[in-house]
Structure 1
Amino acid sequence: MRAAGGEAAARAFPWEAVLDAGLCRLRLPPHVFWGLSLVEFAAMAGAFAPRPVRFSRAGLEGLMRAFPDGEGGGSPPSVTA
């Protein structure tokens, strides 16, 4: 079987990971797990959750320029109570 682009599309379904997520991590009873559609399972497993924003090197360097460490190597200021 070939994908539309001509590349091999035969990849095994990740049953071990899906079973682990559904039965172990989510602790779904088997009858509930097997009754879910793929979309329902994906939603429960967090597939549609927003992805966290990651900094690029340029973003990190920009923050470092905007908020430079204080004198003394960047140690946090002393707090006296």
Structure 2
Amino acid sequence: MSEAGAGWAAMLRLALAMGLAPEAFWRLSLREWRMLTEPASASSTGWALGRAELERMAEAWPDD
């Protein structure tokens, strides 16, 4: 496997471990992927999703 192929494979394995389906992984933009995988830092926007917000969003947009 090429070096690039190994990188994609590692990212897909991480996505699967995070509970993302392969279809959802391939639909992510690079920005979305980075938001999911990079740790929050002082240089980031400082925005974090709280439990209450997550539950509100889950009610508004349930998984079918």
Q: Could you state the TM-score of these two structures normalised by the residue count of structure 1?
A: 0.39
Judging by fraction of residues, say which structure has more helix: 2
Q: Could you state the TM-score of these two structures normalised by the residue count of structure 2?
A: 0.48
The structure number with the bigger radius of gyration is: 1
